[in-house]
Chain A
Amino acid sequence: MSDADRIWSELSVGVDSILNRSEEGFEKALYVRLYTLMQRSGVYNFCTSLKSSLPGGTYYTPADASSTVHGSMYGRQLYTRLNDHVSQYMIQVAEKSREFSGDDLLSFYNREWIKYGDAAKTIHHIFDYLNRHWIQREQDEGNNVCDINTLMFRLWRNNFFMDVRNSLLESVFSLMKRIRDGQVADLNLVKSVVDSFVSLGSDDMASGSKKMEVYDSYFLKPFIEGSRQYYEAECERVLKEGSIRNYMIWVFDRLKEEDDRAEMYLHESSLREFGDALNKVLIGKQRASLISEFKPMLQAREKDDLARLYELLKRLGETAGLEPLRDTFRSFVEDAGLEAVKKVCGEQEAAEGNANKSRLFVQALLSVHELYSSILHDSFKDDPGLSKALDHACQKFINENEMCAGKDNNAARLLANYCDTLLRKGNATARAAGEAGASSEDNLEKQLTQAICVYRYLKEQDVFQVAYGRFFARRLVNEQSVSSHGEEMMISLLKEVSGMDFTSRLSRMFSDITVSKEMSERFKETMRDKRGDDFEFDMKVLNTGSWPLKAPETKLKLPAELDRAVDQYLEFYSKSHSGRRFNWLWQYSKAEIKMFFPKATGPAAKTGYLFQVSTYQLAIMMLFNAESGPGTGYDSEDGPTLTFGQILTATELDKDTALGELEVLCKARVFNTSDGNKATDTAQYTLNSGYKSKRMRMNLAGLRKPDAKKDAKDIQKSVDQDRSMSIQAAIVRIMKARKQLVHRELVQATIEIIKLFHPQISDIKQAISKLIDNGFLARDEDNRDVYNYLA
């Protein structure tokens, strides 16, 4: 036996011991001995045996040994012997493995793998010298020699793994099937097998980098295929046994199981591919029938089923899974909204006046919106695509429905009306429609927020703004706001959506009222002892530009007392603000008077009746005051008798107004007339001196309600004017920036820049015409299609 052989036989014993160490135990001492053997004696021995065979008795140092051809030969010998030895070992292991199958095989493989892994590491360290010298050099020269650790794994793979891998896979499948069928089994066994597949790397070891080829082709692909087949069969079974709904529930649960499990044993890079394959077989195949369940689920509002369906289809991706839902959802919600509005149109209550109509309308819109919003949130997790679908649907049914089909009604005006009912005093019905039990402030806030929700969807927000502005102005002027805080809340909600342009006007109106109040207070203070009249009065001073109020339709000659008071106020006011011009809006003012009828009986005779009257009514009634009558004094015990004509002359009211107010007064039995107590322009009027009523207080002023149709017309006119100005302003802005623009581009830019409403092309053309006429724009001489900005 040569030295080399002797050394190798020692080494091989050690190697075997390491390979088998789990059965025999491993001593650290042995390790040290082998290492030292390798390091010093082994090499030295090689070198000495080398030396002995060389002529001349030349000596070689260990360092030299690796750099000679002879040293290289021995390195190769060592390498080769190790290679052969371990190969033998692996073949034995492979033979042994044939005794096992199923879970036992997996266990066996797992044990051997772990053992071998440690062994490979140890042997790699022991042969460290070889690694660092001979192997390194071979690699530098580009030869296909790998380090010991890598060699070990290669040997495992070529001599054992390739042999056993099919059985391994079979065992894995059978184990997975058992798990999937609900039995208990050790998933860790699979994990170990997977790890070993991963570690075995690619076929090309020279590069030293670990690739997933072994894992991919020998494990993952077959595994995925096996899983696919398993589920294909299962799907058929489940579908045969039950409904598609049951199928969904089953799929949902199984997928969740698989997801959870996969993280425990699959390599993380495979999760995606694995998931996709499962999705395809479990969901993709049934896509059409699943999608067809969507509509029935919506109809029955089955949130849980919808949530499941959504999750499942989401796994198929945006295009394949979710897009088909969007259109169905949109048209479903749209139909639901249209249907709800249609119902309202048919309801009796809706025909009974605008307040009811608008309330029912808005509530119908809100109920549909809320229902499908909650489904969107609870079942679809606010999915962006479906959220957009909901928005489109709402935009459609809120603006284009049966209620708003004609010219009479308009979503924006109805909404404004609804908001008015919420914020105006005396509208308990609307507010009570909120939640019972919540404080009325919270309730109001909730309802206003809901109203804003509808506002966002309006196509013609500017119509709302004009209408709301008018209602708001009326509430302020008539002191009908149910809560000042509520008004402010609404203004800030509107500001969030539409910015300052609109709400600043409202805020100015609001502050006018506040300032007026302060003024009035100060006036009362200053005049406390000076006035001499025994009545109180309040002035509201409003900024003409901010208020949508018109001048009165009739003149009025104030009763003398009122005249005096007004003068006093003006004097006081002009001390702080001079040079202001006033327009009197008597049509908006009211008075409270105490009437002592000459022949009244009953309890009120002594205390008098309290009437709330309009200023016009006041002017008329004051004529019949004994002290301030038109100079005729008492005609009779009942006081003066006046003809219609005399009333007109004295009050300077116009015919229609006077007649209207007299009608109210006569109906209230304040006056008697010579015309069967009816108010006509030929009658003569006397006070009803024997007036008697159970009610001590009467409101005669609020009985002339604004004409809804006329209101609507006024609003539309105002809106049209505003729009015309907006379009012109937009065009000027665009042209100022661009200086020159082709017609179609100008139209396009105008449409894009205006957010509040959709300008019609004909309106844009009209605006262009006006601007040309007024010298802001000119058509280009050479090209009719082009406009030039005239600075």
Chain B
Amino acid sequence: MAKGNDLQAWFIEYQDLDRSDGQAVIMPEGFERLCGALEFDMDGIEPMALLWRLNAAELGKVEFAGWESGMRAMNVHDTAELKQAIRSTIDDFGRNAALFKSFYRKMFDYLRADKQKSVAAEDAVAVLPIVTGNGWVFEKFVKFLEANGDRIKTVSRDQWQSLLELSKTLKPDLSNYSSEDAWPAMFDELVEWLKKPETA
């Protein structure tokens, strides 16, 4: 069992010490160093999984309370164990739908800017491939956003969450999609766009 002051000491290695408000946080710069220590590619999924496991509320910012409870939950004491834990979490995403869903949903909050309710379409385009790997629905959705970037500027929470469901149920020939179902209106557009011969 990791002792409290071990976790604390570990935290302090990356903590932002210039803060005037005295809050114990790891800021993006420190987080990047941590990822370096873990040999995580900053453009990959690992940093985000890490943030999620450490209960971060914002991208690149970890508070001590979250750090502590996260480390304990993972039963991790050092860098090697942490690296392993995160790797296996990522593996689990493929097997455990509920787990991935929770992570995926949190990603939305990481992507959106502080005051905004929605995520910028270009951010979604950048991050979705990383997070969702090679799910074909996500791929198509990203292409759709790119093609319609002049009109569609944001992705709402409902659209984001519904996208995961869509990826689980939509057939490649689009035959089981109906605009009379409860999908968000944007998906009606998506399917129409996918049906176009020039899109295929």
Mark A residues whose CB is within 8 Å of B: 743-744, 747, 761-762, 765-766, 768-769, 772-773, 779, 784-785, 787
Number of A-B contacts (CB under 8 A): 40
With A and B bound together, what is the CA distance between A787 and B158 in angstroms? 12
Q: Annotate B172-195 by CB proximity to A: 1 below 8 A, 0 otherwise.
A: 000000011111111010000000
Q: Is the CB of B158 within 8 A of A743?
A: no
Q: Is the CB of A785 within 8 A of B182?
A: yes
Q: Is the CB of B181 within 8 A of A743?
A: yes
With A and B bound together, what is the CA distance between A18 and B79 in angstroms? 137
Q: Is the CB of B179 within 8 A of A761?
A: yes
With A and B bound together, what is the CA distance between A766 and B152 in angstroms? 13
Q: Annotate B114-129 by CB proximity to A: 1 below 8 A, 0 otherwise.
A: 0001100000000000
Question: Could you say which of A765, A773, A784 contacts B185, with CB atoms under 8 Å apart?
Answer: A765
B113 to chain A, nearest CB (A): 15
Other than the known A762-B179, A768-B184, what 11 A-B pairs have Cβ atoms closer than 8 Å?
A: A744-B180, A744-B181, A747-B180, A761-B179, A766-B185, A769-B184, A772-B158, A773-B118, A773-B156, A773-B158, A784-B182
Q: Is the CB of B162 within 8 A of A784?
A: yes
> Can you list 8 A-B pairs, Cβ within 8 angstroms, ordered by A?
A747-B180, A761-B180, A769-B156, A769-B159, A769-B184, A773-B158, A779-B162, A785-B181
Query: In this complex, what residue of A is CB-closest to B189?
Result: A762
Q: Is the CB of B185 within 8 A of A762?
A: yes
With A and B bound together, what is the CA distance between A113 and B162 in angstroms? 93
Contact residues in A for B158 (Cβ distance below 8 Å): 769, 772-773, 779
B156 to chain A, nearest CB (A): 5
A305 to chain B, nearest CB (A): 49
Q: Annotate B84-121 by CB proximity to A: 1 below 8 A, 0 otherwise.
A: 00000000000000000000000000000000011000
With A and B bound together, what is the CA distance between A784 and B163 in angstroms? 12
B186 to chain A, nearest CB (A): 8
Closest 8 CB pairs of A and B: A743-B182, A765-B185, A772-B158, A785-B182, A766-B185, A773-B156, A762-B185, A769-B184
B165 lies within 8 A of chain A by Cβ: yes
Query: In this complex, what residue of B is CB-closest to A785?
Result: B182
B120 to chain A, nearest CB (A): 15
Contact residues in B for A769 (Cβ distance below 8 Å): 156, 158-159, 184-186
B77 lies within 8 A of chain A by Cβ: no
With A and B bound together, what is the CA distance between A765 and B180 in angstroms? 9
Contact residues in A for B183 (Cβ distance below 8 Å): 765
Contact residues in A for B180 (Cβ distance below 8 Å): 744, 747, 761
With A and B bound together, what is the CA distance between A677 and B117 in angstroms? 57
Contact residues in B for A768 (Cβ distance below 8 Å): 184
Contact residues in A for B162 (Cβ distance below 8 Å): 779, 784
Contact residues in A for B156 (Cβ distance below 8 Å): 769, 772-773
With A and B bound together, what is the CA distance between A779 and B165 in angstroms? 12
With A and B bound together, what is the CA distance between A769 and B182 in angstroms? 10
Query: In this complex, what residue of B is CB-closest to A786?
Result: B182
Contact residues in B for A785 (Cβ distance below 8 Å): 181-182
Contact residues in A for B161 (Cβ distance below 8 Å): 779
With A and B bound together, what is the CA distance between A784 and B159 in angstroms? 12
Within 8 A of A (CB), among B122-162: 156-159, 161-162
With A and B bound together, what is the CA distance between A772 and B158 in angstroms? 7
With A and B bound together, what is the CA distance between A782 and B179 in angstroms? 21
Contact residues in B for A779 (Cβ distance below 8 Å): 158, 161-162, 182
Q: Is the CB of A773 within 8 A of B117?
A: yes
Contact residues in B for A765 (Cβ distance below 8 Å): 183-185, 188
B105 to chain A, nearest CB (A): 11
Most buried by A among B162, B183, B185, B186: B185
B153 to chain A, nearest CB (A): 14
With A and B bound together, what is the CA distance between A769 and B186 in angstroms? 9
Q: Is the CB of A773 within 8 A of B165?
A: no
Query: In this complex, what residue of A is CB-closest to B117?
Result: A773
Contact flag A762-B188 (CB < 8 Å), given A769-B156, A773-B118, A773-B157 = yes
A775 to chain B, nearest CB (A): 9
A786 to chain B, nearest CB (A): 8
B117 to chain A, nearest CB (A): 6
Contact residues in A for B181 (Cβ distance below 8 Å): 743-744, 785
With A and B bound together, what is the CA distance between A772 and B186 in angstroms? 14
With A and B bound together, what is the CA distance between A761 and B180 in angstroms? 8
Query: In this complex, what residue of A is CB-closest to B157?
Result: A773
With A and B bound together, what is the CA distance between A779 and B183 in angstroms? 11
Contact residues in B for A743 (Cβ distance below 8 Å): 181-182
A408 to chain B, nearest CB (A): 24
With A and B bound together, what is the CA distance between A784 and B180 in angstroms? 13
Most buried by B among A747, A784, A787: A784
Query: In this complex, what residue of A is CB-closest to B118?
Result: A773
With A and B bound together, what is the CA distance between A762 and B183 in angstroms? 10
With A and B bound together, what is the CA distance between A761 and B178 in angstroms? 12
Contact residues in A for B157 (Cβ distance below 8 Å): 772-773
Contact residues in B for A787 (Cβ distance below 8 Å): 182
With A and B bound together, what is the CA distance between A773 and B179 in angstroms? 20
Q: Is the CB of A784 within 8 A of B184?
A: no
Q: Is the CB of B118 within 8 A of A784?
A: no
A744 to chain B, nearest CB (A): 7
Q: Annotate B31-64 by CB proximity to A: 1 below 8 A, 0 otherwise.
A: 0000000000000000000000000000000000
With A and B bound together, what is the CA distance between A779 and B161 in angstroms? 10
Contact residues in A for B179 (Cβ distance below 8 Å): 761-762
Q: Is the CB of A784 within 8 A of B165?
A: yes
B30 to chain A, nearest CB (A): 34
Contact residues in A for B159 (Cβ distance below 8 Å): 769
Most buried by B among A761, A766, A768, A773: A773
With A and B bound together, what is the CA distance between A785 and B188 in angstroms? 15
Query: In this complex, what residue of A is CB-closest to B186?
Result: A769
Query: In this complex, what residue of B is CB-closest to A742?
Result: B182
With A and B bound together, what is the CA distance between A747 and B186 in angstroms? 17
Contact residues in B for A761 (Cβ distance below 8 Å): 179-180
Query: In this complex, what residue of B is CB-closest to A778?
Result: B158
A749 to chain B, nearest CB (A): 14
Query: In this complex, what residue of A is CB-closest to B182?
Result: A743
B75 to chain A, nearest CB (A): 29
Query: In this complex, what residue of B is CB-closest to A766?
Result: B185
With A and B bound together, what is the CA distance between A791 and B180 in angstroms? 26
Query: In this complex, what residue of B is CB-closest to A771?
Result: B158
Query: In this complex, what residue of A is CB-closest to B166?
Result: A784
Query: In this complex, what residue of B is CB-closest to A764?
Result: B185
Contact residues in A for B186 (Cβ distance below 8 Å): 769
Query: In this complex, what residue of A is CB-closest to B169?
Result: A784
Query: In this complex, what residue of A is CB-closest to B184?
Result: A769
With A and B bound together, what is the CA distance between A761 and B158 in angstroms? 18
Query: In this complex, what residue of A is CB-closest to B158?
Result: A772
A222 to chain B, nearest CB (A): 64
Contact residues in B for A766 (Cβ distance below 8 Å): 185
Contact residues in B for A744 (Cβ distance below 8 Å): 180-181
B172 to chain A, nearest CB (A): 20
With A and B bound together, what is the CA distance between A625 and B165 in angstroms? 74
With A and B bound together, what is the CA distance between A787 and B188 in angstroms? 19
Query: In this complex, what residue of B is CB-closest to A767?
Result: B185
B157 to chain A, nearest CB (A): 7
Query: In this complex, what residue of A is CB-closest to B154?
Result: A773
B59 to chain A, nearest CB (A): 21
With A and B bound together, what is the CA distance between A743 and B183 in angstroms? 9
With A and B bound together, what is the CA distance between A787 and B161 in angstroms? 14
With A and B bound together, what is the CA distance between A761 and B179 in angstroms? 9
With A and B bound together, what is the CA distance between A618 and B118 in angstroms? 49
With A and B bound together, what is the CA distance between A747 and B182 in angstroms? 9
With A and B bound together, what is the CA distance between A787 and B183 in angstroms? 12
Query: In this complex, what residue of A is CB-closest to B156?
Result: A773
B58 to chain A, nearest CB (A): 20
Contact residues in A for B182 (Cβ distance below 8 Å): 743, 779, 784-785, 787
Query: In this complex, what residue of B is CB-closest to A773?
Result: B156
Contact residues in A for B184 (Cβ distance below 8 Å): 765, 768-769
B4 to chain A, nearest CB (A): 36
Contact residues in B for A747 (Cβ distance below 8 Å): 180
Contact residues in A for B188 (Cβ distance below 8 Å): 762, 765
With A and B bound together, what is the CA distance between A490 and B186 in angstroms? 42
